[in-house]
Each structure stands twice: as C-alpha cells, then as structure tokens.
Amino acid sequence: MMDTMLLDAAEKLFAASLSPAVITALESGADALPLWATLTQAGLADVLISETQGGVGLTMAALFPLARAAGEHGVPLPLIETALLRPLTGTLPDGPMAIASTVAHTAAGWHAPRVPFGAVAGVLAVELDGKAQLVPLKHATRQAHGLDADITLTPETLAVALPLPEGTALAELGALAQAARIAGALSKVLAMSIEHATTRAQFGRKIADFQAVQHQLAELAEAVQLASLAAEMGFVAGRPEKGALMPALAKARTSALAARGAAIAHAVHGAMGIAQEFPLQIFTRALHSARLAHGAEGFWQDRLGAALLSSGQTSADFVDTALTP
C-alpha cells in the first residue's frame, strides 16, 4: 500500500517536472541540480534507506516499479543508481551518483568511457585498484555525449574520494539500474507507437489498420513484457554480489530487447521518428545507450553461459536454482 502510494506520487512528480524540453536541455548541458533537488526533496533517492534513518525502507523488489517508471518518464538523472548506492553511503553526497563499471589507466589518469548519466552526475561510483569508491566529479574532466560522458579522474579528484564497502558490486548495480531503464523506455516507445499508428493515416486509413504494422507492434508488446519481467527478476533477487547471475539475466535480456524494440518503434514512426524535434528519439537513444551501458547482451550472456556449463546442472535445474529469484 505504502509502495503504491509512493509510486503514484513519484509518477506525478515525474510527469510534472519532466518534458521533452527539460530532458533535451539537460542533454545539452543545462544545470541538473534543480531537477535533482526536486527528486531528492521528495525522498526518491533515499527509498532503500530504512525508515529509522529517514528513508522509506523499500525492498529492492519494491524499488523496481519506481525504477521502471523513471525509465518510462525518461528521468535524465542517475536516480536509480543513486537509490541503489544510498544504503552504502553515509550522508547524501553532493549530487547524483553515476556508476562506472570499467576504467582504464591512461597517462591522464583513470579513464571511464561512456558512463551512463556521467554528464549530469555529481559523483562517480567506481572501483580503482580493487577498491570501490565515490569520487566527486567537480574537478574531473568530462566529455559529454548527451547524458553520458567519458570521464577522466586525475590524482587530485581521487584525493577527495570516499570509500564504499568492500565487495560493492558496482557493475551489477549499474546493470540493474539500466535494465529497469530499458524496461521503462520500451513501455514508453510502445505507447508512442500505438498513439502514432492510430492517428497517422496513409492510403486513406490509419496505419494501425495494416496488418504488418499490427504484427510489429505485437512483437514490441512482447518485448515490453519480457524486458519488464527480466529486469524485475533482477530486483526481486535483492542486493547483488559481485559475479551475481540475476543482474546478468536482467541485463542480457533487456539489452537484446532494447535493440529490437527501438527498431520497431522507428519502423512504425517513419521519418517523423528520425526528427530531433519529435520526442521518440529521446527514448530510443536512451534504449541504445542503456543497452551498451555496463556491457550489452553478449557480455552478460557469457557470464550466464559459463555458469550454466560449469554448474553441471540441466538447464531446468539451473533455471530453478540460479535464475529464479
């Protein structure tokens, strides 16, 4: 009951504070802090924190509908990454927390490419030399790509880093957040595609009358259903450990479905979907970006395949014991 009230309130807040214009502005470098303040003042970053510590005390399973809704509304901030990390940090750090799951050492410092929401984050959760930590980004070098960014951490930025608990499964947490984002964005592009197909007319009738269009949208609805379940299973399984399989399932399935779903939505929208001023692209770009974030489907399928083969179990037993939350 508490959960549905929270979800309703969050959806209202998303609807009231987000629009294609707001999202596009953030993608173009506008200040993200006012929107972040709105979301955090509503307590949305603290939902996993216990009630005694001023949070809502949601379970990971109960966070999923909120995470999905954030994707559906196109929340252009790492709200879910932050919510997932919050129980591991003390006070709320300065600004939203993005997650980098891989970094490379370069001459300029540690380099993390294409960090999802890296352009609008205030803090980066990253593992360096085996230690998970929170690095404030005020003085980091960033090359923004819309909401994502290539981030370089110089020695000075690292001086102010705060430790995260040992063994924090950053890649898995990041994968869960982006899986839910895909599930939500797929719902959004299905709704937009249905709306478009039932209003756009060609050959004297609405394009939804054409069976080829109907059948593609049926397939998109399947992608919406399957992505939502796969992502939810990842959340229902609870806080992941490093190497966990449920985030791998969530990210492997949603990533593959993101690509198919975006392709169908564009096919149905025709040239209109390609135009920058039409909002479909906000969500299909999110789908592509989220698909690649923290590794696309093949990367996570490798983990699942290795575990299945070494388990010695039948696929049925493996599904029941390892891939059912």
> What is the contact surface with other proteins in residues (CB under 8 A)?
11, 15, 61, 183, 187, 190-191, 194, 197-198, 208-209, 211, 213-215, 217-219, 221-222, 224-226, 228-230, 232-233, 236, 248-249, 252-253, 256, 297-298, 300-309, 312, 314-316, 318-319, 323-325
The C-alpha atoms of residue 82 and residue 136 are separated, in whole angstroms, by 13
For residue 73, the minimal CB distance to other proteins (Å) is: 8
Reading the block at residue 230, the tokens are: 């796969």
For residue 138, the minimal CB distance to other proteins (Å) is: 35
For residue 305, the minimal CB distance to other proteins (Å) is: 3
Amino acid 260 reads: R
For residue 284, the minimal CB distance to other proteins (Å) is: 18
Q: Looking at beta carbons only, is 158 or 304 nearer to other proteins?
A: 304
The C-alpha atoms of residue 161 and residue 110 are separated, in whole angstroms, by 13
For residue 204, the minimal CB distance to other proteins (Å) is: 16
Question: 105 pairs with which residues across the strands?
Answer: 110
**Residue closest to 83 by CA, chosen among 177, 161, 160:** 177
**Residue closest to 157 by CA, chosen among 120, 123, 183:** 123
DSSP secondary structure, 71-127, as one string: HHHT--S-HHHHHHHGGGSSSPPSS-EEE----EEETTEEEEEEETTTTT-SEEEEE
Q: Looking at beta carbons only, is 136 or 184 nearer to other proteins?
A: 184
Q: Looking at beta carbons only, is 11 or 150 nearer to other proteins?
A: 11
The C-alpha atoms of residue 49 and residue 30 are separated, in whole angstroms, by 30
Q: Looking at beta carbons only, is 54 or 298 nearer to other proteins?
A: 298
For residue 77, the minimal CB distance to other proteins (Å) is: 19
Cα dihedral across residues 92, 115, 188, 22: positive or negative: positive
Q: Looking at beta carbons only, is 61 or 144 nearer to other proteins?
A: 61
Contact 304, 313 (CB under 8 A): no
For residue 279, the minimal CB distance to other proteins (Å) is: 13
Other CB atoms within a 10 A radius of the CB of residue 56 amount to 19
Q: Looking at beta carbons only, is 278 or 299 nearer to other proteins?
A: 299
Q: Looking at beta carbons only, is 163 or 270 nearer to other proteins?
A: 270
